[in-house]
Amino acid sequence: MCFKKSMGELIMKKIKLHKGKKYSICSCGLSKTLPFCDNEHRDYNDKNGTNYKSVKVIAEETVSIDVNSSTWNIKSNVEYITVEK
């Protein structure tokens, strides 16, 4: 599922989360490992006076979820990502 925006397409990503594992989801759109955070926001925040942070998620059970962000305006061929324990 994609949503159109004036600056591009908003991409929905499906990820599998494993019970008890902590995940950091990107909220800035700069990560090279979308939908996961790689801390690119830290340098960007320092240079631009912004306050992006990753969204922390701890799975209570193994589950697949759909995630998206209005800052993710880059198309990706990855539609389903499985994260190993």
Q: How many CB atoms lie within 10 A of CB 66?
A: 10
Q: How many CB atoms lie within 10 A of CB 30?
A: 19
Number of domains observed in the structure of the chain: 1
Percent pLDDT > 90 in the chain is: 52
Confidence band, pLDDT 50/70/90 cuts, at residue 77:
very low
Q: What does the pLDDT average to over 24-38?
A: 91
Host domain of residue 54: 2-82
Evaluate whether 58 touches 4 at the Cβ level (below 8 Å): no
